[in-house]
């Protein structure tokens, strides 16, 4: 077979298997087979750049190059839907439709209201040519490169399925709950602000200028509206069923009904069942099915008269606000926290809710003693959504004001440009900041001094034994063995584990310093690139920006850290204590025997390194790459699309499955 033909064949086969996996959730082949085909295609494309195709399934990994988004007008404006919050309003809508259609029979299509961000996709001759965000409804951002990395969105439609030459399809881009939770866990470790809900996370991701970031975040998409001059049917429902056949992911939960009771039944069913869905939903959408009837009903300035959204009630409770306290973190950021009379909400007792920052707090206009509403909607952390102002009376206390001085050390608070938080700038003497930095330094992923905990740190700090992390190495047994010397054993253990920590690898020392925004992964990347603390301390912005995963925020923070003489002094003292300030010979050559004697299967698509890099890493650490899972396999290094067949085999044989992160940790 001609190379060109084989490339075409592989592309269409891989497209079909992607569809089976990501859209239908029903793979037909093992991932091994999938991987083999993908590799063959990658090799052929590398050898034959003349057959390059931007829609090739090998291109779904995105690019590191910064892109600028261009504003594009929508062919049909992207309107929003009128919202309703109770069944009476749904009944009113139903009656308005009946009246508007002058007694003609009509069908209503009931569907989920997905809580993500809306996207408009344009296809021409079966190819995705443009993906545009809603923007202001009239024009939006062209995010085509980012959208192309979302595996369930077809780049090319399935041949011979009868799609129109040109059409637009709209839908919702979502971040599944599991990806959202994993992303927030990572951000927490890096002390980056958390995403409040999957919608914000999906939207932040889709607007990333770096499409490889989008590829790594595992977004999903459901399509719910087909537009164009040549759509096949008059019925909206029928059009979407057809679109499913062309390759789009269309909700299986859509129903066509005629009576109000059937609409209520649909609402009641999904109000409960939606909790089992992998993505966030916030209501139901009701649409008049016939496009002819839709045209007859028309539009208001903002929304169609033929459709309406019914929003689910978020789980909400009412309770009393006792006080607002202010917490100072290790970075000095001050967070207001509402302390409330305990109340039952969505299965847990809620006592505290974050108020995020001064702006959020001011907007709520809280008074001590107010009755407040607490919600746990799409959010994980409960939040105060409003105040029952009618319940205010003479017993209500004063308005809660944001503090002007640090509650811990009294320093006047400052606000940095572009940041919502107020900070205590007294980082050298403010106790929670100092203790927070020490706690971070000793934590498991940093210096791993596990004989110490927050209480001991607090005690040593109060006794004046430690004022910074370098002081830890001066602690002597007789200072901490108790008044009567009775804690000798545990004191020895503590001193020993502090002394042992000087063997912790350099990259963890970089993380342990607690440089703002430098999480575990960034620390690793910086350590591996610069190899010594001196080189890192003198790194320029440009040098750092060239490293994969290091952006301006991190790079500027590193520069700021080493510009501060106090920090340089601290690093100098740590060096004197013997803490590692560079990679070891072994780490520099990247060789070890950490995987000696192990047989490892690499499967799936990866985001941190390429498959070949992983294979090379395995060899460099003494492991052996093997092709298929057997009882002799030590573990599977699994990327994004390890399919059920392989998973089942590994599970049946009891073989551990490691994620990229787990694997990198193992060989770190
Ligand atoms: S149809 C003219 N269907 O809700 C009708 N929208 O407030 C256009 N949404 O911007 C929208 N699920 O982002 C439609 N099944 C669904 C939906 C849905 C979620 C979102 C969409 C839209 C907003 C409307």
DSSP string for 309-338: EEEPPPEEEEEEEEEEEEEE-TT-EEEEEE
Residue 316: inside a domain: no
Residue 81 CA, ligand 1 centroid: distance in Å: 6
Residues 336, 260 within the same domain = no
> Whose Cα sits closest to atom 21 in ligand 1?
118
Residues 117, 222 within the same domain = yes
CATH classification at residue 539: 1.10.150.20
> Residue 337 — very low, low, confident or very high, per pLDDT cuts 50/70/90?
very high
Percent pLDDT > 90 in the chain is 61
Give how far Cα 105 sits from Cα of 111, 198, 229, 536, 651, Å.
20, 39, 25, 73, 54
Residue 77 CA, ligand 1 centroid: distance in Å: 13
Q: SS3 for 615? A: helix
Of 559, 589, 619, the last residue of a domain is: 589
Residues 440, 326 within the same domain = no
Domain encompassing residue 536: 506-589
Residue 563: inside a domain: yes
Q: What is the pLDDT of residue 64?
A: 60
Whether ligand 1 lies within 6 angstroms of the CB of 202 is answered as no
Token pair, residue 141, equals 């951002």
Q: SS3 for 341? A: strand
What is the longest distance spanned by two Cα atoms in the chain?
Answer: 93
Per-residue model confidence as pLDDT tens digits over 267-277 = 999 998 998 89
CB of 68 closer than 8 Å to CB of 209: yes
Residues 39, 82 within the same domain = no
Beta strands in 59-193 (DSSP E): 71-73, 83-84, 108-114, 117-124, 127-133, 139-141, 166-174
Ligand 1 atom nearest the C-alpha of 116 is 13
Q: SS3 for 88? A: helix
Q: What is the pLDDT of residue 190?
A: 66
For the chain, how many structural domains are there in total?
6
Whether ligand 1 lies within 6 angstroms of the CB of 79 is answered as yes
Q: What is the pLDDT of residue 305?
A: 96
Ligand 1 atom nearest the C-alpha of 113 is 12
Whether ligand 1 lies within 6 angstroms of the CB of 309 is answered as yes
Residue 80 CA, ligand 1 centroid: distance in Å: 7
Per-residue model confidence as pLDDT tens digits over 156-173 = 998 889 999 999 999 999
Per-residue model confidence as pLDDT tens digits over 505-552 = 999 999 999 998 898 888 988 998 999 999 999 999 999 998 877 888
Q: What is the pLDDT of residue 65?
A: 65
pLDDT exceeds cutoff 60 at 664: yes
pLDDT exceeds cutoff 90 at 438: yes
CB of 84 closer than 8 Å to CB of 94: no
Residue 225 CA, ligand 1 centroid: distance in Å: 8
The residue among 470 and 627 whose pLDDT is bigger is 470
Interior CA angle at 523 toward 520 and 529, to 5°?
140
Whether ligand 1 lies within 6 angstroms of the CB of 81 is answered as yes
The residue among 103 and 129 whose pLDDT is bigger is 129
Whether ligand 1 lies within 6 angstroms of the CB of 629 is answered as no
Residue 118 CA, ligand 1 centroid: distance in Å: 7
Residue 111: inside a domain: yes
> Whose Cα sits closest to atom 15 in ligand 1?
113
Token pair, residue 296, equals 């007859």
Whether ligand 1 lies within 6 angstroms of the CB of 199 is answered as no
161 alpha-carbon distance from chain centroid: 35
Residue 375: inside a domain: no
Per-residue model confidence as pLDDT tens digits over 341-358 = 999 887 778 899 989 889
Q: What is the pLDDT of residue 191?
A: 64
CATH classification at residue 622: 3.40.50.10190
Residue 112 CA, ligand 1 centroid: distance in Å: 9
Residue 383 CA, ligand 1 centroid: distance in Å: 25
Ligand 1 atom nearest the C-alpha of 304 is 2
Residues 94, 110 within the same domain = yes
Taking residues 170-182, report their average pLDDT: 93
pLDDT exceeds cutoff 60 at 254: yes
Taking residues 186-204, report their average pLDDT: 80
pLDDT exceeds cutoff 90 at 483: no
pLDDT exceeds cutoff 80 at 66: no
CATH classification at residue 302: 3.30.470.30
CA neighbor of 237 nearest in space, from 248, 225, 228, 247: 225
Whether ligand 1 lies within 6 angstroms of the CB of 80 is answered as yes
Selecting among 4, 59, 87, 113, the annotated active-site residue is 113
What's the chain's average pLDDT?
Answer: 90
The dihedral built from the CA positions of residue 564, 566, 570 and 572, taken in this order, carries a sign that is positive
Per-residue H/E/C for 502-540: HHCCHHHHHHHCCCCCCCHHHHHHHHHHHCEHHHHHCCC
Residues 298, 279 within the same domain = yes
Kindly report the length of the chain: 668
Residue 179 CA, ligand 1 centroid: distance in Å: 23
Whether ligand 1 lies within 6 angstroms of the CB of 45 is answered as no
> Whose Cα sits closest to atom 22 in ligand 1?
80
Residues 247, 123 within the same domain = yes
- With 0-12 / 13-18 / 19 or more C-beta atoms within 10 angstroms meaning exposed / middle / buried, residue 332 is buried
Residue 43 CA, ligand 1 centroid: distance in Å: 42
Least confident span in 190-194, 396-400, 457-461, 630-634: 190-194
Whether ligand 1 lies within 6 angstroms of the CB of 118 is answered as yes
Of 311, 333, 356, the last residue of a domain is: 311
Residue 78 CA, ligand 1 centroid: distance in Å: 9
Residue 594: inside a domain: no
Residue 378: inside a domain: no
Q: What is the pLDDT of residue 22?
A: 85
> Residue 184 — very low, low, confident or very high, per pLDDT cuts 50/70/90?
confident
Q: What is the pLDDT of residue 486?
A: 85
Residues 91, 233 within the same domain = yes
CB of 622 closer than 8 Å to CB of 595: yes
Residues 51, 150 within the same domain = no
Q: What is the pLDDT of residue 172?
A: 98
> Residue 289 — very low, low, confident or very high, per pLDDT cuts 50/70/90?
very high
Percent pLDDT > 70 in the chain is 98
Q: What is the pLDDT of residue 378?
A: 55
Ligand 1 atom nearest the C-alpha of 115 is 19
Whether ligand 1 lies within 6 angstroms of the CB of 327 is answered as no
Whether ligand 1 lies within 6 angstroms of the CB of 111 is answered as yes
- With 0-12 / 13-18 / 19 or more C-beta atoms within 10 angstroms meaning exposed / middle / buried, residue 100 is middle
Residues 284, 332 within the same domain = no
Whether ligand 1 lies within 6 angstroms of the CB of 240 is answered as no
Interior CA angle at 397 toward 395 and 403, to 5°?
175
Per-residue model confidence as pLDDT tens digits over 588-611 = 777 777 887 889 999 888 888 888
Ligand 1 atom nearest the C-alpha of 134 is 10
Residue 545: inside a domain: yes
What CA–CA distance (Å, rounded) separates 419 from 91?
Answer: 46
Residues 78, 155 within the same domain = yes
Of 61, 87, 104, the last residue of a domain is: 61
Task: Residue 628: count other Cβ atoms within 10 Å of its Cβ.
Answer: 11
Q: What is the pLDDT of residue 606?
A: 85
The residue among 24 and 346 whose pLDDT is bigger is 24
Ranked by mean pLDDT, the top range of 190-194, 393-397, 588-592, 611-615 is 393-397
Q: Phi and psi dihedrals of 632, rounded to 5?
A: -90, -5
Taking residues 497-505, report their average pLDDT: 95
- In angstroms and rounded to an integer, the radius of gyration of the C-alpha atoms of the chain is 29
> Residue 497 — very low, low, confident or very high, per pLDDT cuts 50/70/90?
very high
Ligand 1 atom nearest the C-alpha of 225 is 1
Whether ligand 1 lies within 6 angstroms of the CB of 589 is answered as no
What CA–CA distance (Å, rounded) separates 620 from 590?
Answer: 7
Taking residues 102-108, report their average pLDDT: 95
Whether ligand 1 lies within 6 angstroms of the CB of 280 is answered as no
Ligand 1 pocket mutation pick from 309, 310, 312, 378 by most atoms within 8 angstroms of CB:
309
DSSP state of 275: G
Ligand 1 pocket mutation pick from 118, 169, 255 by most atoms within 8 angstroms of CB:
118
Residue 380: inside a domain: no
Least confident span in 60-64, 104-108, 363-367: 60-64
CATH classification at residue 419: 2.40.50.140
pLDDT exceeds cutoff 80 at 482: yes
Residue that has been written with the tokens 């009412």 in this structure: 318
Ligand 1 pocket mutation pick from 285, 302, 308 by most atoms within 8 angstroms of CB:
285
Helix or strand holding residue 438 (H, E)? helix 431-442
Token pair, residue 397, equals 């206390």
Whether ligand 1 lies within 6 angstroms of the CB of 114 is answered as yes
Is-catalytic flag, 113? yes
Residues 55, 91 within the same domain = no
> Whose Cα sits closest to atom 17 in ligand 1?
113
């Amino acid at each position: 077979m001609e190379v060109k033909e084989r490339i075409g064949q592989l592309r269409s086969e891989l497209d079909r298997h992607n569809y089976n996996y990501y859209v239908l959730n029903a793979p037909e082949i093992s991932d091994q087979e999938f991987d083999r085909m993908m590799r063959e295609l990658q090799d052929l494309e590398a050898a034959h750049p003349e057959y390059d195709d931007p829609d090739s399934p090998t291109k779904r990994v995105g690019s590191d190059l910064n892109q600028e988004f261009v504003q594009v007008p929508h062919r049909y404006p992207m309107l929003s839907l009128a919202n309703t919050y109770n069944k009476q309003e749904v009944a009113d809508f139903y009656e308005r439709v009946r009246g508007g259609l002058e007694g003609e029979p009509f069908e209503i299509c009931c569907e989920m209201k997905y809580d993500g961000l809306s996207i408009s996709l344009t296809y021409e001759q079966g190819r995705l040519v443009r993906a545009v965000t809603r923007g202001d409804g009239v024009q939006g951002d062209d995010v085509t490169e980012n959208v192309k990395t979302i595996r369930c969105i077809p780049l090319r439609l399935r041949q011979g399925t009868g799609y129109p030459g040109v059409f637009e399809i709209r839908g919702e881009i979502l971040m599944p709950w599991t990806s959202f939770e994993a992303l927030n866990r990572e951000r927490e470790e890096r002390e980056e602000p958390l995403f409040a809900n999957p919608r914000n996370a999906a939207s932040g991701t889709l607007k990333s200028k770096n499409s490889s970031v989008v590829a790594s975040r595992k977004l999903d998409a459901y399509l719910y509206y087909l537009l164009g001059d040549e759509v096949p049917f008059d019925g909206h429902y029928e059009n979407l069923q057809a679109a499913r056949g062309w390759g789009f992911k269309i909700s299986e939960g859509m129903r066509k009904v005629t009576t109000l009771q059937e609409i209520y039944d649909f609402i009641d069913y999904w109000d409960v069942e939606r909790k089992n869905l992998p993505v966030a939903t916030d209501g139901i959408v009701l649409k008049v099915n016939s496009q002819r009837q839709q045209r007859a009903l028309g539009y208001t300035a903002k929304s169609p008269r033929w459709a309406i959204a019914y929003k689910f009630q978020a789980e909400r409770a009412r309770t009393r606000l006792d006080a607002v306290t202010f917490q100072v973190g290790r970075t000095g950021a001050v967070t207001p926290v509402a302390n409330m009379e305990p109340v039952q909400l969505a299965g847990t007792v809620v006592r505290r809710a974050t108020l995020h920052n001064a702006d959020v707090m001011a907007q709520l206009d809280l008074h001590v003693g107010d009755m407040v509403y607490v919600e746990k909607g799409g959010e994980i952390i409960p939040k105060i959504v409003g105040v029952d102002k009618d319940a205010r009376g003479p017993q209500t206390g004063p308005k809660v004001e944001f503090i002007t001085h640090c509650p811990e050390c009294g320093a006047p608070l400052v606000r940095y440009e572009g940041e919502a938080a107020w900070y205590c700038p007294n980082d050298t003497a403010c106790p929670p900041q100092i203790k927070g930095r020490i706690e971070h330094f000793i934590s498991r992923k940093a210096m791993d001094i596990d004989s110490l905990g927050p209480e001991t740190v607090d005690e040593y700090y109060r006794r004046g034994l430690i004022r910074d992390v370098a002081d830890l190495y001066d602690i002597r047994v007789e200072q901490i063995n108790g008044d009567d010397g009775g804690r000798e054993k545990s004191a020895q253990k503590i001193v020993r584990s502090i002394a042992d920590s000087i063997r912790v690898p350099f990259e963890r020392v970089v993380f342990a310093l607690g440089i703002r925004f430098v999480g575990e992964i960034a620390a690793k990347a910086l350590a591996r690139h610069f190899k010594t603390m001196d080189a890192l301390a003198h790194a320029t912005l440009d040098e750092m920006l060239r490293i994969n995963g290091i952006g301006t925020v991190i790079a500027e923070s590193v520069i700021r850290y080493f510009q501060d003489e106090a920090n340089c002094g601290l690093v100098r003292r740590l060096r004197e204590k013997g803490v590692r300030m560079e990679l070891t010979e072994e780490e520099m050559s990247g060789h070890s025997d950490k995987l000696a004697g192990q047989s490892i299967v690499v499967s799936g698509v990866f985001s941190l390194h390429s498959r070949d890099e992983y294979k090379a890493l395995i060899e460099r650490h003494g492991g052996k790459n093997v092709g298929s899972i057997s009882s002799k396999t030590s573990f599977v290094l699994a990327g994004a699309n390890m399919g059920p067949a392989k998973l089942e085999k590994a599970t049946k044989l009891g073989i551990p499955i490691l994620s990229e992160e787990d694997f990198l940790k193992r060989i770190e």
